[in-house]
Amino acid sequence: MAPQPVVTGLSPKEGPPGTRVIIRGEFLGSRVQDLIGLKICGSDCLLSAEWKSPNKIIARTGPAKGKGDIIVTTISGGVGTSTVQFRAYHETIGPLKESAVWIEESPSQNFAWGRRTLTQSGLTQEDPLGLSIEGNEQKIPEDLRDLFPDACGDLSQENFSPAWFMLENHLATSFEDLKAGLAYLKRKVESQKEGQLSFLKSNAGSVIDQLDTLMNIRDKFQEDVKLYGKEPFSILEQSIENSISESQKIFTDVLVRKEKADSTRSVLFALSRHKFLFCLPNSVDRRAKAGEYDIVVNDYSRAKNLFGKTELAIFRQVLEEVDQRILLIRRQLHEKVVKMPQSVEQQKKLIKALTSLELQQSGTAIGDRLRNTDPAWDAIEARAKYLESTFRQTFDQYTTKDAAAQEKTKNRDPNQAPSRVNFCEELCDIAASQLPDLWRLGQLYFTGELRGPHDPKPGDFKRMVLTAIEKFCIYLRLAILIAADQRALRQSSGISWPIGSSSATHHFLPWIPQCLRYTRIAYATLIGLDLPSDALDIIQKLIDEVRLFCFSIIFKRATDRCKKLGAQETWETTVEDYPGATQLPAALETLLVETLDEVQSVCMQPEVREGNLLEPHSDGQREVTQRLQELLSAFSGIIAELAYPSHDDETPTHNVSQLLGFPNAQQPESVSGAGGGGAAVNWEQRMLCCLANYAYCNKTFFAHIGEVFVRYGYPLPTLAIETARYNANQLFTNLLEEYVEHKGDPLVGTIEPSMYLGRFQWDHEMEIGLGQLRPYAHECLDNLVGVYSEIYNISPTLLRPILESIVQTISEELARLMSCVQHFSYTGAIQAHVDIRLLRDALDNYANETAKNYFMEALEAISPPLNGEQKRKADEILERVKRNMRLQLLCFSVKEP
């Protein structure tokens, strides 16, 4: 409960009915609706009250008389008190005084003896006591009207009171002066009584002359009677009677004209006095055409207050005409309220005027002819419909323009923004300018400033705002999210953006970040309106979708650029951590860092009231994983494309010597080492570099890519990295098999021809004392040394996976060939034993369990088995051979090259 209203100031403090009074005080109401009562001197003045602030009210006094308090009543504080009083009095209305009531005027002329009396002089009368009133400015503190309610101090009035006159004019005059004034007044009265006798004394000669003249007239008259008789008197009498009759007619005519003139003057006085009412019909029309509706409301309210209860027919007729004009203005105002476009301030002004006029005409017969249920709500609905129609018109305009632009794709300027981008910009401008107007108009309505007599509709307004925002987001989705499910949008909204060509789509994709910027600007504007959270969530969802789409587009462009990295391959093996790996992974890292920088600045960094797209198990995290998988998969594909020869490359040669006992005669050029210059690279060297790149990515680089993502604030993309490592491992395995097949098949294919060169047979005796190997064993070792040197020159880490496969193939072939021999001679068994053991011992570091088993099968296949003498000779020959071939065997002795 608020404190009681207290009136502490008043201006003016007295006046007749209708006086404009400014009331000041404290707790006079918190708003307009809080003021429910105002009485001045007991008269209800609430209708004319105008609430300005909790400390100020302006009103007009009612038909009260005398002194009284000013009582203010509010809903929050109840009936108040007053520390000041107002004195109300009724004043005499003269012919030039404007009045709110009709004054019956009587003729001011008084005919006596046929002559008009003189009007009273307007000059101030002299003091009847003959005293000066100077120095008598001091006034009696009490109000003389209260002391003498039925008297006055005017000498010319019938209710003249000497006491009033003395208190008003001679309050400070001394008693001696008053006695002197009384003596003066007595002398003046005596002089007036002696005035007639003194007049005769001073004019005695004139009186005697007049008497002589009268005697002469009598004598002349008697002479005429004697001469002419009494007949002339009848003629004269008749003439006088005729003259009297004629003069009476003239007088009557003059009197009639005088009465007409008086009536005309009275009418003119009335028209002049009440010209406000008679000019009001034309005045309200003129003000309405000029848009000055506040003046129309004030004038109409004034006329209703002054003349609303009059009984005069002329006034009622004029008021009826004014009511008709106001009714027409109300219709015009309602049409203007719902007519768009216009500003909120203009609508607010029109709604207030319309509500005021409707309130003043409510409850009347003419007011019932037009009932505007709720002009403020009609204005809100009109603005919402205009907003939706503007959205649709803009959409239709740009879809038509975009369809026309599809026919001119050849002449399209790549720097010119597509129609979709221009549409997004204009639509966001419309939303940022008109949605705030709709929201402000609704707030004015629900706070009571524009509310009419009906209850508000908050649910309908919220649904209206949500619908407008949903429409806004649907149009943006259709324009921006070209990769989304357009069929679902078409079914839900009934509209769609025309499907453009692939070139038009490709032209639009780089502009998506700009569309996101336009949407964010509009979103920031709407955030400042304090809209409900569910309305803002609609736009936030759209922004998240556009951010993800923008992320996807940027990474797709990065994937396209990644597919062109093969042209930048220089085959320089300068990676310190992994020999044989080229700068291709570093180029991918550079591309990825640029992409992440662009993504971070464009879409991934959340702005005001935007969520984190990288929440666990969110669409954003799945999108990041998918795009990274595509990028790394494309990179793995580039490595695979570089590994295989193109049509312009030379035909790959099998670096296996076909001359028994000689190493490879063709020495291909090699790639540059860690510090060497770039030389021509053949297909085998490219394949080894690609294998090294695969192994490097699988072992180190892909994990480093995950660290790069973590450094930029992303969660570790474990799924994408593991998938990429799996794909790289598969490609590595395929490429390794291809290389092993390319190198191993020709090598294995030379073993059998070299073994039986020159019609050699194992069951024939041979010379073994020189301690040499058979040509096939020499050829096999020399070819393996060639493969070893080629791999070691590119990437020593690839020696084991490649040589293990080749050694396994060789051991398997030897086991097959030995098992095919039915019988070995004495020396043949020793030679075969030496050949197989040398190969087994030399390749032991690169022989897996399978290869060792095959070597064992080959030794066991020698039939008959060696006896002790044969084994001793075989051991001697083997030692001699190892000493002679120590340089060839040295490279195979290093376990971890």
Q: From its phi and psi, is residue 101 left (phi > 0), alpha (psi between -120 and 50) or beta?
A: beta
- The pLDDT tens digits of the residues spanning 812-865 come to 999 999 899 888 888 888 888 998 998 998 888 888 999 999 989 999 988 888
Decide: 57 and 71 in contact? Cβ < 8 Å.
no
Mean pLDDT within 493-516? 80
Query: 883 — phi, psi (to 5°)?
Result: -70, -40
Per the CB < 8 A criterion, the answer to whether 6 and 74 are in contact is no
- Which 8-state DSSP code applies to residue 42? T
What is the rounded distance in angstroms from the CA atom of residue 696 to the CA atom of residue 581?
7
At a CB cut-off of 8 Å and minimum separation 6, what does 852 contact? 811, 840, 844
**In 676-689, which positions are buried (b, 16+ CB within 10 angstroms) versus exposed (e)?**
eeeeebbbbbbbbb
**Least confident span in 178-182, 197-201, 797-801:** 197-201
Q: Are 327 and 333 in contact (CB under 8 A)?
A: no
Residue 499 tokens read as 């499907």
248, two tokens: 């009476």
* Residues 156-172: tens digit of each pLDDT: 777 788 887 888 788 77
Residue 805 in contact with residue 736, Cβ under 8 Å? yes
Give the separation between CA 229 and CA 281, rounded to whole angstroms.
Answer: 76
Strand partners, 72: 38
Determine if the peptide bond prior to 865 is cis (ω within 30°): no
One-letter amino acid at 380 equals: I
Q: What is the dihedral of CA 541, 542, 543, 546, to 10 degrees?
A: 130
- pLDDT confidence of residue 105: 46
Pull the structure tokens for residue 383.
């603005």
- Residues of the chain with pLDDT > 90: what percent? 16
| pLDDT above 70 as % of the chain | 85
β-pairing verdict for 14-15 and 6-11: unpaired
Q: State how far the Cα of 665 lies from the Cα of 651, in Å rounded to an integer.
A: 17
Strand partners, 14: 87
Read off φ and ψ for residue 23, nearest 5 degrees: -105, 130
Is the C-alpha dihedral spanning 341, 345, 348, 354 positive or negative? negative
User: What are the tens digits of pLDDT across the range 345-388?
Assistant: 888 888 888 888 888 877 677 766 776 678 888 888 899 999 99
Q: Can you give the pLDDT at residue 64?
A: 85
pLDDT digits (tens, 9 = 90+) for 618-667: 888 888 889 899 999 999 999 888 887 654 554 455 444 433 333 343 34
Cα separation, 678 vs 848, whole angstroms: 36
Helix, strand or coil, per DSSP, at residue 75: coil
Question: Could you tell me if 740 and 805 are in contact, meaning their C-beta atoms sit under 8 angstroms apart?
Answer: yes
Task: Report the distance separating Cα 750 and Cα 753, nearest Å.
Answer: 6
The DSSP symbol for 69 reads E
pLDDT, tens only, 11-21: 999 888 889 99
- In this prediction, residue 894 has a pLDDT band, given cuts at 50, 70 and 90, of confident
Strand stretches in 27-114, DSSP E: 35-40, 43-44, 50-53, 56-60, 66-74, 78-79, 81-82, 85-88, 111-112
- Scan for tokens 């193109």, then name that residue: 646
pLDDT of residue 57: 94
DSSP class per residue in 575-593: -SSSTT--SHHHHHHHHHH
- 74-122 pLDDT, tens digit per residue, is 999 899 999 999 988 876 555 555 554 444 444 444 333 333 343 444 4
> What is the rounded average pLDDT of the residues 216-236?
78
Low-confidence winner among 89-103, 486-500, 562-576, 653-667 (lowest mean pLDDT): 653-667
Is 799's pLDDT higher than 60?
A: yes
Neighbours of 307 (CB within 10 A): 20
* Phi, psi for 69 (deg, rounded to 5): -85, 165
With tokens 């959409």, the residue in question is: 395
Nearest to 131 by CA among 175, 171, 170: 170
Q: What is the mean pLDDT of residues 748-772?
A: 81
Please report the pLDDT score of residue 486 as a whole number. Answer: 64
Is residue 535's pLDDT more than 90?
A: no
Q: What is the pLDDT of residue 321?
A: 87
H-assigned helices in 274-312: 275-278, 280-289, 293-307
Rounded distance between C-alpha atoms, residue 854 and residue 812, angstroms: 5
Q: How many residues does the chain have?
A: 897
Worst-scoring range by mean pLDDT, 156-170, 387-401, 664-678, 785-799?
664-678
| Contact (CB, 8 A) for 735 and 641 | no
Q: Are 548 and 618 in contact (CB under 8 A)?
A: no
Query: For residue 468, what are its two tokens?
Result: 């407008």
Return the SS3 of 111: strand
Among 893, 800, 804, 796, CA closest to 852: 804
> What's the CA gap between 834 and 874, in Å, rounded?
6
Check residue 795 and give its pLDDT. Answer: 86
Query: Helix, strand or coil for residue 515?
Result: helix
Determine if residue 15 is left, alpha or beta; phi over 0 gives left, psi from -120 to 50 gives alpha, anything else beta. Answer: left
Q: In whole numbers, what is the pLDDT of the chain averaged over residues?
A: 81
Q: Which residue has the higher pLDDT, 153 or 715?
A: 715
Where is 9: in which H helix or E strand? Answer: strand 6-11
Q: What is the DSSP letter of 152?
A: B
Report how far residue 621's alpha carbon sits from residue 881's, in angstroms, rounded to the nearest whole number. 64
Going from the C-alpha of 896 to that of each of 739, 800, 892, the distances in angstroms are 21, 9, 10
Helices 458-480 and 486-493, axial angle in degrees (round to 10): 150
What is the predicted pLDDT for the residue at 857? 92
The DSSP bridge partners found for residue 67 are 87
Q: 297 forms bridges with which residues in the sheet?
A: none
Distances (CA, A) of 828 to 386, 518, 763, 865, 880: 105, 89, 6, 11, 18
> Position 726: which residue type?
Y
556/545 Cα distance (integer angstroms):
16
Q: How far apart are CA 545 and CA 613, in angstroms?
A: 9
